[in-house]
Amino acid sequence: MATISIRAFGGRSEPGAVSDDLAAVSVLLDEQATAVWVDVEDADEPTLEVLADELGLHHLAVEDALDVHQRDKYVHYDEHAFFVCHDAELDVEAAQLRTKEVAAFIGDRWLVTVHAGCRALVDGVAGRPGLTHKAPDLALGFVLYGLLDAVLDRYFGVLDAFERFYDGAADQVFADVPIPPQDQRRWFEMRKALNAFDRIVRPLGDAVDTMVHQDLDRFPVAAHPYLRDIAGEVSQVRDEATGLRELVRQIVDVNIMQRDYRQNVGMKKVTSWAAIIAVPTLVTGYYGMNVPYPGSGETWGVVVASGVSVATALGLYASFRRRGWL
């Protein structure tokens, strides 16, 4: 069931008052000095149909708001604009990125936000100091700014969590102990989470760029610096996400090189010891033939065979040691 919160700015409305009566939207908008913010949590089709009739929402935008698998975007319709972004939280222990979609219909004097499970985010925006005392023509621009600012704060937290994880991963790569399979699996899951994060950051950057560079006149002039600031923060998040993905590729490449290096070192040691052991094996095998040979049955033959074996083995050991193979 949908949960509705209606906040009015200006007019005869009491600052900070919240209503859940959709019929009040038209009444409030009849007052020319009033702007209205309608927040809908767990929206259903009947609720959005009522709002569509009241505010003239485009049916394609309504369908997108009900479909929770939308890409971040900013679309301009005749009567309003439609904006989609995602709240994000990274669970490092589970190696999982959790996202929640937030859609916004942006009119001249009204704003409708639609989401599922983002109540704390919305309440944080509504509780920002001074918001309820903003002039009606400024309030909605600052609501949108506050919403995006809160989302981006979460994004920076996600980036910090990724950076801490991959700092630890880089330390593991250069450790003397090979990385356990379970840790490698976790690396893979975290890389999937980073790719998922990148897939919401890049479209958000395009959406905000469209808003700021093509549709900024929709918002009051006083809100323009704040929205440009949002565009700058989105660009920063996008650049940091790109840098993290490059770092992950480098860590993977270095891990492969380290693995190959360890394998080469192991093969060198095995090969070296095999060569050292092969010499006395060859000598003793020669003197073990069932045919007469020089020194057969003689003490000096035993001494020569032993001397050749020991001397050759020590010579090979010294040679391999000097090359760093042992």
Of the candidates 259, 286, 311, which is a domain's last residue?
Answer: 259
Residues 298 and 152 in one domain: no
* pLDDT at residue 298, as a whole number: 64
Residue with more model confidence, 197 or 15: 197
What is the total count of domains within the chain? Answer: 2
Neighbours of 203 (CB within 10 A): 18
User: Is residue 6 predicted with pLDDT exceeding 80?
Assistant: yes
Neighbours of 220 (CB within 10 A): 16
Mean pLDDT in residue range 56-64: 93
Look up the pTM and report it.
0.79
User: Is residue 101 predicted with pLDDT exceeding 90?
Assistant: yes
CB-based contacts of 137, cutoff 8 Å, min separation 6: 35, 109, 220
For 4, 38, 41, 53, 117, the CA distances from 20, given in Å and listed in that order, are 5, 9, 11, 17, 18
Average pLDDT over all residues of the chain: 84
User: Is residue 108 predicted with pLDDT exceeding 70?
Assistant: yes
* pLDDT at residue 288, as a whole number: 65
Residues 293 and 250 in one domain: no
User: Is residue 133 predicted with pLDDT exceeding 70?
Assistant: no
Looking up tokens 């891990």 gives 255
CB-based contacts of 106, cutoff 8 Å, min separation 6: 80, 81, 82, 83, 140, 144, 218
Residues 56 and 169 in one domain: yes
Residues 152 and 246 in one domain: yes
Closest among 148, 253, 246, 242 to 198, alpha carbons compared: 242
* pLDDT at residue 235, as a whole number: 94
The most confident of the ranges 9-23, 65-79, 176-190 is 65-79
User: Is residue 292 predicted with pLDDT exceeding 70?
Assistant: no
| Least-confidence region, from 5-14, 66-75, 246-255, 298-307 | 298-307
The Cα 82–Cα 20 span in angstroms is: 22
Span 140-164, pLDDT tens digits: 888 899 999 999 999 999 999 999 9
Grade residue 11 by pLDDT with cuts at 50, 70 and 90. Answer: low
* 245: CATH: 3.30.460.20
Mean pLDDT in residue range 11-20: 68
Residues 106 and 128 in one domain: yes
Domain encompassing residue 292: 264-322
The Cα 10–Cα 31 span in angstroms is: 9
Neighbours of 308 (CB within 10 A): 16
Residues 222 and 80 in one domain: yes
User: Is residue 293 predicted with pLDDT exceeding 70?
Assistant: no
* pLDDT at residue 92, as a whole number: 92
The pair of structure tokens assigned to 14 is: 């009491």
Residues 236 and 307 in one domain: no
